[in-house]
Structure 1
Amino acid sequence: MKKIKFLLAGGVVLGLFYSFTFSSSLINPEKDKLLIEIMAYVLERAHYDPETIDDNFSENVFMNFLDNIDGQHRFFIQADINNFAPFKYDLDDQIKAANVNFFDFAYKKYTQRLGQIEAFYEPLLDRPFDFSLDEEINLDYDNMEYTESLSELRRLWLKYFKLSALGIYVEKKDEELKKFELDSTYVMKADDLLEEQARAIIRENMETFFEVRNDMQRKDYFSIYLNAITAQFDPHTNYFAPQDKERFDTNISGKFEGIGARLQKKNQEIRIVEVISGGPVWRDKLLEVEDVILKVAQENEEPVDISGMRIDDVVKLIKGPKGTTVYLTVKHVDASVEIIPITRDVVELEDAFAKSSIILKDEKKYGIIHLPKFYIDFTDYSERNAASDVKKEIQKLKDENVEGIILDLRNNGGGSLQTVVDMTGFFIEEGPVVQVKSTGGRKNVLRDTDPSVTWDGPLVVMVNESSASASEIIAAALQDYKRAVVVGSKQTYGKGTVQSVYDLNRVISNNTHGDLGALKLTIDKFYRINGGSTQLEGVKSDVVIPGRYSYIETGERSQNKPLEWDQITPAEYEPWDNIPYNFEYAINNSKTRIENNSYMVLINEQAKWIKAQQDDNLYTLNYDRFLKERKQREKETEKYNELDNFKAPFLLETLKVDLPELNKDSDLKESRLRWEESLSKDIYLFEAVNVLEDLSVPLKKTNKLAQTKL
């Protein structure tokens, strides 16, 4: 296994921490003030490009916080905003003084408005909606004014409810008409009954909404305020409250220690909504979906009644180290109640891990590896990680004698830098993979030092607008080495920064305030081996395939406060020359196919239509106009329905070596089959296979083809 240091908390930053002496302002033991001062200190000294905390910074924090808690202007009224205004240019001073007066003031007013809306929403839903009135609502939140009074706010909520009710009513009306078309004796439900049912659904949704909101505590909103501060440094610098840090760790590793069930709170009850394949609950068939958890007990302790408890707190009680036992008092769907002991274990989220399949086309065999993220267990690199798993998938495909491999990184948002450096090494001989520049201009070249190559055959990397960070590193490196053809969107996401997670509890000794959480902080920028940054620019595909969102601004460019693009000197590297195949031939062939493919042309037209619809924020509340506009949209989009009929002229086949494990788990097997079925309708994969096929044509033959064309 190739070695490279983790880009985590470095000695320089830790040195700053241990030399930190707190000012007298922290004699006040309140935890939130402590967090403000620690965060400000760390951000100023450890961030790659720290912001100046001044009046402009203050204004941005002010606007960001209000947007995060009330971006749709559904809670505050104009008088509230006027009362907040004196704080607009004062937050920089408050941050420096570890003062939270603005947050306290805004939070108090927010909870007051929340209570008022909870009190008036039910009466608004008691009266039937009249869909014959010629009304409309504008949902252009960026330019929406705050309402002038509470009564005006009520009218706004009434319009929101009416818009939702109209959508539900139309769906129910359509269902009734379809039933009548199938059976002329069917007696359709009256319109007033359908409208009443629509309001009942909205009422139930609002009950759930307020159940969730009322479960939120002051500390939850304070986390939002802290992130309004971190957002001014760059989009990827975030504060993690303790429970958020746990979720981040689970997401990046693809596993956690617990019982293997997803929970949901509804009507003050904690219910099982999913049993995770491979976990203790699934393995021993202990619980079922819709079972209700009443009490939780640890070994040799009294059970805790969890009714009314926040779901985060319930999860804390249930999760625990592998090998320990938790006792759940459960009410089953049949109303029977029993105490169930469950031995906790490591639960792996299989959908988060690499998987592969065989593609059969024209008597040739290719392989596809889907990697949803660059996962890793930061505490132990020898555990399952993206690099080691991809290496196994490559070997399995080699055992099947595939002629080429597609690495599918679409929608892969990145992850561990170490795994991407190791993974790139599977496809090249030793050499630089990525350059990293730290604060002060220090540059480090991360290299593959292992001369062995796991796969030396034809290679295609698939990307889209959501392929980010680590995905961009490997795509850029393989592109610069001319080792692979990159197929996909015009460019990838454009995240060229490196983050490290710092445990804020390590900043001070003798912390008496409880868990302070963590700070994910941008500490470096990474660069291609050719010297260019992927920041904002992303990786430009060799073969650009039109997508439905091609004309909509996405990625890092669409974020607030992204770091700028720049470039540094190239690293020393030699393009790959071990495979005698003609990249230009494959790329030019692909471009010609795309230009002449009727499906591709249609996708491009659809993308332009979607762009045109993006700025239309005006919605009718009139039933007849709604139907007329829907009919017009259906007519405009009818031709795009043809895209659903695409079926690739190849077959997908599950690897034989995977079948024994899949046959043990029907859910996992079904998930794999659904994935392969989706690939069979994937026009982007179809073009990637064509490129792979062209790459497999020997260079001498492509030269002869070129001469023939001349």
Structure 2
Amino acid sequence: MLPRIALVSLLVFAVSAAAAPTQPPLLKPTPAEAKAAYLSAQALTRFHYAPQPLDDAMSQKIFKAYFDALDGEKLFFTQADIDRFGAARTQLDDAIWNGDLAVPFAIFNLYEQRVVERLGYARGLLAKGFDFGVDESYDYDRKNAAWPKDDAEVNDLWRRRVKNDWLRLKLAGKNDADIRKTLDKRYANYLDRVQQLDAEDVFQTFMNAYATSTDPHTNYFGPRASQNFDIAMKLSLEGIGAVLERRDEYTQIREIVPGGPAAKSGKLHVGDRIVGVGQGTSGPITDVVGWRVDDVVELIRGPKDTTVRLEILPADAGVDGKHVNVALVRKKVSIEEQAAKKSIIEVKDGGAVRRIGVIDLPTFYQDFDARRRGDPEFKSATRDVARLLDELKQAKVDGVIVDLRNNGGGSLDEATRLTGLFIDKGPVVQRRAANGRIVEDDDTDPGMAWSGPLAVLVNRGSASASEIFAAAIQDYGRGLVIGEPTFGKGTVQNLANLDEMMGNEKPEYGELKMTTEEFFRIDGGSTQLRGVTPDIVFPKTVDAGDFGESSYDNALPWTQIAPAQYRKVADLSPLVPLLKQRHDARVARDPEWKLYLDELAAAQRAHDQTRVSLVYDVRERERKQTEAEQAAFKAREKALQQASAGAAGKSAAPAGVATAAKPASGSSDALVRIDDGLQPGERSLKTELAEEKAAEDARDVLLQEAAHILADEVDLVHADTRLAARVLPAQKSPID
């Protein structure tokens, strides 16, 4: 696994197999970074929700976290390397206070040296090949392993790793020549990614080792990362409207954003490679072949209404193909794939058809700067959802699902305001500061944008603001919570701009995203560690020990405070057992649900297998078993498709409407895939995009069942006016 700092680079150009790796230049800290470290320590020891002194004890935590960030799989450093810096275990606190970052940078420079050595050794093994009759194994999971004691032990680890990489490709049908070429390119790319890291990357990694040692959700952002975080929150930037990635030595266009300058020009296409960037109508073209993707992006972004010129190697041209020059005027571009979206599911049960509206909300976004400036049209998740609810009401839906699966949170203010769309008025969340002071965030706007049947769909990836919203909906009795228990993040982070603290106009110190409060449900309980338990629970797709707040060693404990003053708007207690009974009966006889459970079990078995044999015959037998299992899954899936098509006839749903009879597709591939031995970025872009499209188009079994559950509620309240009076808010609803 790459260190976290390397993830920003994506894929970079391959080093020639014949070229001997060169030692990268030694990186050194800047005076600005030394100052930023001191300012961060001041903030973390004074203003954090649970402040901890920056002392020898914290230094030891930072020491471990920094080495783990660089080499979490323990494949580069040896125990001798760790011992070499043993004195720093209790000295990193002094280094931060005194602005002397020589030791953290020395550790990184040694890391780079070890990467050169280990990958040079790995590439040297490729000429020799391997004996796959020797009875030995490779362990994928080395997070809790001991550091290799010496070079001999670490070389043996790499020998097994390379042997496994070779074996995976061999089992996928590659010949020896192709395997050597693929692996040599892979290791060269890895080496180059690490060698392109700069001082800002190193400093950010070290400071994050400190920040996350205080609690899991406190982070340091360098100036570049701070800009990207701001873009993610406001869902817009000023640029050309293209998603870029690294492939070999090129920056390649992966996606064209609809409505952006690139799309409107008609001159750029997915797969085009950017080889040069020029500023203005006549500025010189800078060759960007081999550059890090974020450095290329920095050249392309710029102020609105300014011109950027791109030198393009077209997607269908060879490496010696003719270049094309494209001039574009930068505009404000919305990142719509992270914005709220709507759809409608038609649930057919006997002669009745229930229309269930779905609002998919990937994040709780808000353009903070635009709101501060008083822009009445600032980007807001709540404003977008309110508009979508109006459209769903016009479409005469019977119920609404808010899909928060994998929504990791965002703006606390948006969570409060979004809850207000579904309740009249009242408290939404309680927050406790470090001094013990408790404040409430209230919805003060009267009325509801939607007062009919409501469900919130969650999973383990639903965190923070998602948990605030789901908990409030549950505590008010306003709607059902369906899915997996949520992440369990019950803390609030605020951004501390270090440049603003120092009155800097030019960003050079970065930002801290720092835990400053803990939030509590209006019933007084925290979501910390425990998350939100759904009213109707779906099968778990991930182990709590692998993902979620409980997987962190330094997570804050669960606590409780007094409930807020609030009044439930409805009482779902008589409804939930009836819905659960119908749900259990339906999925027990649903072959599609059974297929999903079987695929999930297969995926869990694959996840649990962390040690693999390096004997060809053993692995070939295991692969054939997996292929047979996947073939059986696909046969069952095909039978379901045919049955669905037969039941639905040839009639098609209206545009924008998904029916419960929509054929299943790609579901098994989404859980377990036959190993092709390749890593992300090594497959063709066309193949990767096709796989992503198939995953998007695959039938969403969980969402469909959630729609059935909400349709059951609609049926029950239609049939029983007394029940309807208890489970729906006390005002006219769309189903009356």
> TM-score with structure 1 length normalisation?
0.83
Q: CA deviation at 1:487?
A: 0.7
CA contact (8 A) 2:430 2:520 kept: yes
**Alpha-carbon shift at residue 202 of structure 1 (Å):** 0.9
Which residue number corresponds to residue 665 of structure 1? none
2:215 counterpart of 1:234 = yes
* Distance across 1 between alignment mates of 2:632 and 2:57: 49
User: Do residues 499 (structure 1) and 493 (structure 2) align?
Assistant: yes
Rounded to whole Å, the distance in 2 between the matches of 1:637 and 1:315 is 40
Asked if structure 1 preserves the Cα contact closer than 8 Å seen for 2:281 and 2:327, the reply is no
Aligned-partner residue type, residue 324 of structure 1: T
Question: Please, what is the CA RMSD of the aligned residues?
Answer: 3.1
Matched, 1:370 2:360: yes
SS at match of 1:82: helix
SS of match in other structure, 1:159: helix
Structure 2 Cα separation of the partners of residues 38 and 705 of structure 1: 58
Q: CA 1:313–1:683 in structure 2 vs 1: closer, same or farther (change >3 Å)?
A: closer
Alignment CA distance shift 1:352-1:116 (3 Å): same
Q: When the two structures are superposed, what TM-score results if normalisation uses the length of structure 2?
A: 0.80
CA distance in 1, matches of 2:356, 2:64: 52
Structure 2 residue aligned with 1:271: 252
Matches within 5 A, 1:536-547: 536-547=529-540
Whether contact under 8 Å (2:424, 2:448) holds in the other structure is yes
In structure 1, distance between residues paired with 2:633 and 2:214:
42
Displacement of 1:602 after TM fit?
6.6
When residues 441 and 33 of structure 1 are mapped into structure 2, their CA distance, relative to the original with a 3 A threshold, is same
Q: Please report how far the alpha carbon of residue 609 of structure 1 lies from its aligned counterpart in structure 2 after TM superposition.
A: 6.4
Q: Percent identity?
A: 33
Q: Classify the secondary structure of the residue corresponding to 1:423.
A: helix
Aligned partner of 2:346 in structure 1 is: 360
Give the equivalent residue in structure 1 for 2:123: 122
The CA distance in 1 between the partners of 2:593 and 2:245, in whole Å, is 42
Residue 430 in structure 1 maps to residue 425 in structure 2: yes
- Distance change >3 Å, CA 505–CA 159, structure 1 → 2: same
Whether the 8 Å contact between 1:581 and 1:696 is mirrored in structure 2 is no
Aligned to 1:402: 397
Q: What is the number of residues matched between the two proteins? A: 642
* Pairing partner for 1:330 from 312, 316, 320: 312
Distance across 2 between alignment mates of 1:275 and 1:422 = 32
> Contact between 1:234 and 1:560, CA under 8 Å: does it hold in 2?
no
- Tell me the SS of whatever aligns to 2:213: coil
Indicate if the aligned counterparts of 1:294 and 1:329 stay in contact, CA closer than 8 A.
Answer: yes
Q: 2:508 maps to what in 1?
A: 515
> How far has the Cα of 1:268 moved from its partner?
4.0
Rounded Cα–Cα distance in structure 1 between residues aligned with 2:49 and 2:330: 40
Query: Which residue number corresponds to residue 50 of structure 2?
Result: 49
TM-superposed CA distance for 1:628, in Å, is 2.2
Which residue pairs with 1:414 in the alignment? Answer: 409
Q: Structure 2 counterpart of 1:561, which letter?
A: N
Any conservation in 1 of the 2:275–2:287 contact (CA below 8 Å)? no
Give the CA deviation at 1:367.
1.1
Against the structure 1 CA distance between its residues 591 and 532, is the aligned structure 2 distance closer, same or farther, given a 3 Å change threshold? farther
Cα drift, residue 32 of structure 1: 2.5
Q: Is the 8 A contact 2:343 2:656 kept in 1?
A: yes
TM alignment of 1:606-625, pairs within 5 A: 614-625=607-618
1:626 aligned to 2:619?
yes
Q: CA offsets per residue over residues 115-141 of structure 1, 9 Å max, x none?
A: 323443332212223323323222331
Residues 1:52 and 1:117: Cα distance change in structure 2 (over 3 Å):
same
Deviates more, 1:646-655 or 1:616-625: 646-655
Distance in 2, Cα, partners of 1:691 & 1:326: 52
- The aligned residue for residue 562 of structure 2 is 569
| Residue from 296, 301, 320 that aligns with 1:319 | 301
Partner of 2:181: 200
Note the alpha carbon deviations across 1:445-466, whole angstroms, 9 max, x for none: 1111111211111111111111
Equivalent of 2:202, from 196, 201, 221? 221
2-structure distance, mates of 1:686, 1:510: 52
Alignment CA distance shift 1:368-1:588 (3 Å):
same
Which structure 1 segments of 5+ residues have no match?
1-27, 174-193, 657-669
Q: Paired residue for 1:466, among 461, 482, 502?
A: 461
After TM superposition, give the deviation of residue 591 of structure 1 in Å.
Answer: 4.4
Shift in Å, 1:365:
1.7
Cα distance, 1:642 vs. partner? 7.6
SS at match of 1:154: helix
2 CA distance for matches of 1:580 and 1:48? 36
Note the 1:245-260 alignment, pairs <5 A.
245-260=226-241
- In the alignment, residue 363 of structure 2 is paired with which amino acid? K
Contact kept? 2:272, 2:312, Cα under 8 Å: no
Instruction: Report the residue type matching 1:212 in the other structure.
Output: R
Cross-structure match for 2:66 = 65
Are 1:51 and 1:232, in contact at CA under 8 Å, matched by a contact in 2?
Answer: no
Distance (Å, rounded) in 1 between the aligned partners of 2:710 and 2:219:
40
Distance across 2 between alignment mates of 1:423 and 1:519:
26
Following TM superposition, by how much is the alpha carbon of 1:697 offset from its aligned partner in structure 2, in angstroms?
A: 3.0
User: Is the 2:233–2:367 Cα contact (8 Å) retained in structure 1?
Assistant: yes
After TM superposition, the structure 1 stretch with the greater mean CA deviation from structure 2, 475-484 or 155-164, is: 155-164
State the secondary structure of the residue aligned to 2:370: coil
Label 1:486 to 1:301 Cα distance change in 2 as closer, same or farther (>3 A): same
Counterparts of 1:281-300 in structure 2, within 5 Å, are 281-288=262-269, 289-299=271-281
Match of 2:712 in 1: 694
Indicate conservation of the 8 Å contact 2:305/2:331, yes or no: yes
Residue 413 of structure 1, CA deviation: 0.9
2:288 is the counterpart of 1:306: yes
Q: Distance in 1 between matches of 2:345 and 2:367?
A: 31
Question: What secondary structure is seen at the aligned counterpart in 2 of 1:108?
Answer: helix
SS at match of 1:232: helix
Question: Hey, what's the Cα distance between the residues in 2 that align with 1:208 and 1:460?
Answer: 46
- The answer for the alignment partner of 2:451 in structure 1 is 456
Question: Secondary structure in 2 aligned to 1:441?
Answer: coil
Contact residue 585 and residue 702 of structure 1 kept, 8 A: no
User: Using a 3 Å threshold, how does the CA distance of structure 1 residues 107 and 548 change in structure 2: closer, same or farther?
Assistant: closer
Structure 1 position 343, deviation (Å):
0.2
AA paired with 2:527? T
Moved more, 194-203 or 532-541: 194-203
Evaluate the alpha carbon distance shift between residue 350 and residue 644 of structure 1 in structure 2; reply closer, same or farther with a 3 A threshold.
farther
2:276, 2:285 within 8 Å by CA — same for their partners in 1? no
- Checking the alignment, whether the CA contact within 8 Å between 1:33 and 1:98 is kept in structure 2 is yes
Q: 1:428 to 1:643 in 2, by over 3 A?
A: farther
CA 1:322–1:234: 2 relative to 1, 3 Å: same
696 and 35 in structure 1: CA distance in 2 versus 1, 3 angstrom threshold: same
The aligned amino acid for 1:692 is L
**CA 1:700–1:329: 2 relative to 1, 3 Å:** closer
- 1:305 Cα deviation after fit: 3.5
Q: What residue number does 2:470 align with?
A: 475
My pick for the range that moved more, 577-586 or 405-414, is 577-586
1:93 CA displacement: 3.2
Give the secondary structure class of the aligned counterpart of 2:172: helix
Structure-2 separation of matches of 1:279 and 1:97 = 47
Mark the CA change 1:119 to 1:546 in structure 2 (over 3 Å): closer, same or farther. Answer: closer
Residues 663-674 of structure 1: matches in 2 within 5 Å?
A: none
Cα deviation code 1:364-399 (max 9, x no counterpart): 322111111111111124323211111111111111
Q: Cα distance, 1:687 vs. partner?
A: 2.2
The alpha-carbon distance between structure 1 residues 398 and 495, as it changes in their structure 2 partners (threshold 3 A), is same
Q: Secondary structure at the match of 2:90?
A: coil
